[in-house]
Amino acid sequence: MEEKTLSQVLIKALHYVKSFRGQVFVIKLGGEVMCDERVMDCLAEDLVLLNSMDIKPVVVHGGGRDISDAMKRFGKVPEFVEGLRVTDAETMDIVKMVLIGKINTGIVAKINKQGGSAVGLSGKSGKLFMAQRRKQKIDLGFVGDITEVNTELVSVLLEKNYIPVISPVGFDSGGDSLNINADTAASRLAVSLGASKLVFMTSVEGVLDKKNKLISKLTVKQAKKLIAEGTASAGMIPKLEACIHSVEGGVARAHIIKSREHAFLQEVLTSKGTGSMVYLK
């Protein structure tokens, strides 16, 4: 890149940096993202860069593919109902092992390697996600709905410039661990923290319409329609519901983007948005 162009890019970024200073961004990483070492290294750089500009990233991660792989190794067959994993007691142990033991520590290590200070938490840390078992016709087992979000611990970490990395495992009043969809956890957290952005990094370009064309901007009303008419299915249902919840709860923008190298940085610090953006109206 020419020097003039380079300085123009940096100066343009200054506009975004100034307007976002001190704000919280919640980033949800999908299971596929974490399987790509290069993309993860770039994302860790993005997070550390933003953090050093006084923007406060909070990471919530899923674990789809790794959990399914581990289940198969234990001779179990992954099963989903509307994008939510059916979780019996053995599966819950696998979920904890993979999410907290493997993925969370892996993300923390990547951020620390880039010079940031990440802290791994689960929804049990500081009673972050209190939950109750989901009640519905088909029993999903140890799948939880969040009843309460306690952000005190996360806020303390953000004040001291740590980057919290959160596994979506909650617990109920009896102390049982519950598997919480990571998209839902990210949106509840974003609202409770008063985040200005919620970014979902996933394996698809964004939300696709009936003809498989990318929808680059959609209102809450359009998002609800996509779910109701079945255009959004499987894992896109909790993701769109999370977008709806977050923007209705005061988060200015929710983005769904494909995880490429530095896609996150480009999304927040340039005008070159990719993927889908959900907004109130």
Ligand X SMILES: Nc1ncnc2c1ncn2[C@@H]1O[C@H](COP(=O)(O)OP(=O)(O)OP(=O)(O)O)[C@@H](O)[C@H]1O
What is the binding site for ligand X (CB under 6 A)?
30-31, 62-64, 83, 182-183, 202-204, 207-208, 231-236, 239
235 is a contact residue toward Mg ion (CB under 5 A): yes
Per-position DSSP letters for 104-160, written without gaps between them: IHHHHHHHHHTT--EEEEETTGGG-EEEEE---SS--BSBEEEEEE--HHHHHHHHT
Shortest spacing between CB 26 and ligand X, in angstroms: 14
Can you tell me the distance from the alpha carbon of 241 to that of 76, in angstroms, rounded to the nearest whole number? Answer: 29
Nearer to ligand X, 57 or 235 (CB): 235
Shortest spacing between CB 83 and ligand X, in angstroms: 6
Element (H, E) at 44: helix 37-52
Nearer to Mg ion, 235 or 275 (CB): 235
Q: Which does 123 bind (CB under 5 to 8 A by kind): Mg ion, ligand X, none?
A: none
Nearer to ligand X, 84 or 155 (CB): 84
Task: State the DSSP code for 214.
Answer: B
Can you tell me the distance from the alpha carbon of 103 to that of 66, in angstroms, rounded to the nearest whole number? Answer: 8
Q: Are the beta carbons of 278 and 247 closer than 8 angstroms?
A: yes
Shortest spacing between CB 167 and ligand X, in angstroms: 11
Nearer to Mg ion, 120 or 235 (CB): 235
Shortest spacing between CB 65 and ligand X, in angstroms: 6
For Mg ion, the nearest residue by Cβ is 235
CA distance between the termini of the chain = 38
User: Would you tell me which residues interact with Mg ion (CB under 5 A)?
Assistant: 235
